[in-house]
Amino acid sequence: MNEVSICVVDDETDLLISISEYFPEYKIETFSSPEVLLNILEKKSFDIIISDFKMPKMSGLELLRSAKKINAFKYGILLTAYADKNILEKTINDGLAKKIIEKPVLMKELKPIIDEAIEYCRELGKKESEISTIKNNYINLKKETQIDINNIIGADFGLKEVFNKVRSIAKHPVSVLLTGETGTGKELIARAIHELSPRRDYPFIKINTTAIPDTLFESELFGYKKGAFSSATSDKPGKIELSDKGTLFLDEIGDMSFNLQAKLLRAIQEKEIERLGSNNIIKVDFRLIAATNRDLADKIKNNAFREDLFYRINEFPISLPSLRSRKDDIPELVKFFIKKFSEELKIKNVAISKDALNLLKSYDWPGNVRELENAVKRALIVAGNGAVLLPAHFNFIFPVSSETELSVDRALTVIKDNIINKNLDFHSLEESVILKILRHFNGNVSEAVEKTGLSKNRFYKFKS
């Protein structure tokens, strides 16, 4: 990112001179009139705006609000000698200023605040640059593949490492093992690998281990000959045979019975199968992509999964992260789903509030992106045209508690389970608890402070 740009606006020229002289190492422009600065902001943006609160004709709050509408800054700092509690709280809640400094301003106290703002802008710039690069990669990937890659864009926003692996492995004839929790997009990644491979013109055959009873799975996988069993009234090819020259996607392979694992291993090694009820050898040429949400290493230790099969299917592993491990992606995913379902459901002019986004970020999403996608779709249907999605639109996930006080016993249980038993750090637990308290009081910081006795700074630390 280029050097961080800073502007200071205050009708006290002495303060402007002091700031310029005290911080020669920073790229600072000063203005004595908010009206003049606002005209400049129509053509030019700054990373950081430091503004006085009370100025003639236009207040600093009005300036920041107007500048935000045109995306003219990233970080706002408000200087004020008039600390009206309600106004200052609204300023932070609305995202206009991240810091508020009381006058008179001491330069030695201002410096660490500016340094923090600069670091914030640099990190934000890195993230924006990475997002831009990833979006371009998605565009290029879409041009190369025949599937509707938009589904993967939406479901796996920010998965740069995964897509780099997809691109690098697709053209090579090796088995791929996709691991990750339910809802992380394993099938979509498998399809992308197939469509980017030389096998794209041949079948992509999927079989879900958990969806078929053990008694029928062998016939589904290998096929059968007429008369092999009472209901076999005609010959039927199995999934492996159907995937000849193409790709076989075995979903939830970790749930396959131990007996069938041995037969699958032979098919992979020998590239040949026998239908049930037949002794004829059928040669097959398929690429195997397997997926699981199980810990296969643990299953091997417990003699529930064959180690030799594991090494065959794990030639190139790709791990898909859970949504809770990348919560910063949630706002982008929500925007994508709002756009997607607005078009699909013909719902117009829908936005989402900051409180609702914070609420969604506070949830762990055990169903991952699939659960988030369904939640946004359901909220859109309830909200309808022209709505702003609020926390209340997601009450089916976050039921409103009838309790007015938080349970101490419950909090102690959380501390015990998460810190002692699970070895989690206190900061992560603190963030989780604070966000849940905010959700309990519908984002009302004043009420949360009054009821809990915690400081405002504690809440603002995690709310922004």
CB of 282 closer than 8 Å to CB of 245: no
The three-state secondary structure class of 318 is: strand
pLDDT attached to residue 314: 96
Predicted pLDDT at 360: 93
Query: To the nearest whole percent, how much of the chain has pLDDT over 70?
Result: 84
- d(CA 462, CA 464) in angstroms, rounded, equals 6
Query: CB–CB of 289/227 below 8 Å?
Result: no
- How far is the CA of 309 from the CAs of 328, 377, 407, in angstroms? 37, 40, 49
Determine what percent of the chain is predicted with pLDDT higher than 90: 40
Two domains, one topology: 5-126 and 147-319: yes
* Helix axes 456-463 and 85-93, enclosed angle (nearest 10): 20
Determine the pLDDT at residue 315.
96
Report the C-alpha gap between 332 and 130 in whole angstroms.
13
Q: What is the pLDDT of residues 221-276, one digit of tens each?
A: 999 988 888 888 888 899 999 999 999 999 999 999 998 999 999 999 999 999 99
Longest dimension (CA), the chain: 98
Given a cut of 60, is residue 3 above it in pLDDT?
A: yes
Asked if 12 and 53 touch (Cβ cutoff 8 Å), the reply is no
Write down the architecture of domain 5-126 according to CATH: 3-Layer(aba) Sandwich (3.40)
Instruction: Provide CB contacts within 8 A for 433, sequence distance 6+.
Output: 411, 414
pLDDT of residue 299: 94
Pick the CATH number of 147-319 from 3.90.1640.10, 3.40.50.300, 3.30.750.24, 3.40.190.10: 3.40.50.300
What's domain 323-394's architecture? Answer: Orthogonal Bundle (1.10)
Query: Which tokens go with 39?
Result: 């005209």
d(C-alpha 459, C-alpha 371), whole Å: 27
Is pTM beyond 0.85? Reply is no
Closest CA to 176 of 70, 98, 289, 276: 289
**CA–CA gap between residue 248 and residue 239 (Å, rounded):** 8
pLDDT tens profile 284-337: 999 999 999 999 999 999 999 999 999 999 999 999 988 888 888 888 889 889
Of 197, 142, 192, the C-alpha closest to 174 is 197
pLDDT of 137 reads 56
Where do the domains of the chain lie?
Answer: 5-126, 147-319, 323-394, 408-463
